[in-house]
């Protein structure tokens, strides 16, 4: 599981930062990518990364401001050209379906795959399968805006080979049955249960990706105990009033959410173009004073989401 930032700017593109888009690389887990927001030029940004749009499985939109969705038509058509022929599902606020259908209809675009648009009417579970659960909650922004909490299911523990050998269980079909949690009876009559020869389950990871928002209760709920929190940091703390006026966050607001929610790694994104290299570093330092485990995202930067040991 890895996060790749295709765009980390706010409002409008700059020479250093394109507008918002983030890829969650799930190729090892399920052979696909999930995209979160799709600002203008995202298809071009993907060309400069290792991301394969043909493997895009889901696209989550936080809200319908242009810097978060103007890139959708280009990404959808590029996916066809890059060999994408499997179904694609889009999630987002009311109005997303009309935007997609209008853009594709007016431009007479033809996709080589079916798409489904799921408009979010309320908070709660957005999608749920054998490997991940995604939950959405409302944030506080000028338009309806959602954040997403992605929870990976726990993986079963490994077979404890030393215990298997102590029981004298030979390699083969019995291993598989025990791995699935079943029980086997040995020639001497001993019954061995899977739970007795399987190690501690591997805890699934939790990643939270927020849309534009000021400090709010929805952000805290989503971020609770997350391994990684991706939070906007449009302004520095000395522009707190401006942030509140436009329903955005400062770097300190983001760090405050991470701390109060008990989140692990905080990643700042959606940086105003007024903050060039030195100014952006100042945003990072402000957040790190409150939440030391903080990173500042850059376009094309990737972050590997590590697994924690069972006792963490």
81 CB-near residues (< 8 Å, 6+ apart): none
85: annotated active-site residue: no
Q: Which of 37, 67, 227, 253 is catalytic?
A: 67
Whether residue 67 is annotated as binding a ligand: the answer is yes
Whether residue 270 is annotated as binding a ligand: the answer is yes
Token pair for 193: 């249960």
Whether residue 63 is annotated as binding a ligand: the answer is yes
Token pair for 24: 């969650």
Whether residue 248 is annotated as binding a ligand: the answer is no
Whether residue 141 is annotated as binding a ligand: the answer is yes
**Long-range contacts of the stretch 24-31 (C-beta < 8 A, 24+):** 24/150, 24/207, 24/209, 25/1, 25/51, 25/302, 26/1, 26/57, 26/132, 27/55, 28/1, 29/1, 29/131, 29/132, 29/152, 30/57, 30/131, 30/132, 31/55
Of the CA atoms within 13 Å of residue 4, those in its CB half-sphere come to 21
Cβ pair 217, 266 in contact under 8 A? no
Strand, coil or helix: 128: strand
Whether residue 68 is annotated as binding a ligand: the answer is yes
Q: In what order do the strands lie in the sheet with 294-296?
A: 124-128, 132-138, 146-152, 206-209, 228-232, 265-269, 294-296
User: Strands 32-38 and 88-92, how do they pair?
Assistant: unpaired
Q: Which of 85, 99, 98 is nearest to 56 (CA)?
A: 85
Q: What radius of gyration do the chain's Cα atoms show?
A: 22
Detail the residues annotated as belonging to a binding site for Zn(2+). 63, 65, 67-68, 141, 212, 270
Q: Which residues does the annotation mark as catalytic?
A: 67
Binding residues, by number, are 63, 65, 67-68, 141, 212, 270
């Amino acid at each position: 599981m890895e996060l790749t930032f295709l765009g980390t700017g706010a409002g409008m593109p700059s020479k250093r930062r394109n507008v918002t888009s983030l890829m969650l690389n799930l190729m090892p887990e399920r052979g696909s990518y999930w995209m979160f927001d799709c600002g203008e030029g995202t298809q071009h940004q993907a060309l400069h990364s290792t991301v394969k749009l043909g493997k895009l499985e889901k696209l989550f939109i936080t809200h319908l401001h242009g810097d978060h969705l103007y890139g959708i038509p280009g990404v959808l058509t590029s996916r066809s050209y890059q060999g994408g022929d499997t179904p694609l599902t889009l999630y987002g606020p009311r109005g997303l379906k009309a935007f997609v259908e209008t853009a594709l209809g007016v431009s007479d675009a033809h996709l080589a795959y079916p798409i489904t648009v799921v408009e979010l009417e309320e908070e709660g579970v957005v999608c749920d399968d054998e490997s991940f659960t995604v939950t959405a909650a409302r944030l506080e922004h000028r338009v309806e805006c959602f954040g997403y909490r992605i929870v990976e299911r726990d993986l079963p523990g490994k077979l404890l080979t030393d215990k298997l050998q102590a029981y004298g269980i030979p390699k083969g079909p019995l291993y598989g049955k025990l791995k699935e949690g079943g029980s086997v009876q040995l020639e001497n009559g001993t019954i061995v249960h899977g739970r007795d020869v399987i190690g501690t389950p591997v805890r699934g990871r939790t990643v939270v990706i927020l849309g534009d928002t000021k400090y709010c209760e929805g952000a805290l709920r989503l971020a609770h105990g997350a391994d990684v929190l991706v939070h906007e940091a449009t302004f520095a703390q000395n522009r707190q009033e401006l942030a509140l006026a436009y329903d955005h966050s400062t770097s300190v607001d983001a760090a405050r959410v991470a701390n109060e929610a008990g989140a692990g790694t905080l990643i700042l994104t959606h940086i105003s173009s007024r903050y060039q290299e030195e100014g952006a570093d100042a945003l990072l330092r402000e957040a790190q004073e409150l939440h030391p485990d903080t990173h500042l995202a850059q376009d094309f930067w990737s972050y590997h989401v590590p697994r924690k040991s069972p006792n963490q």
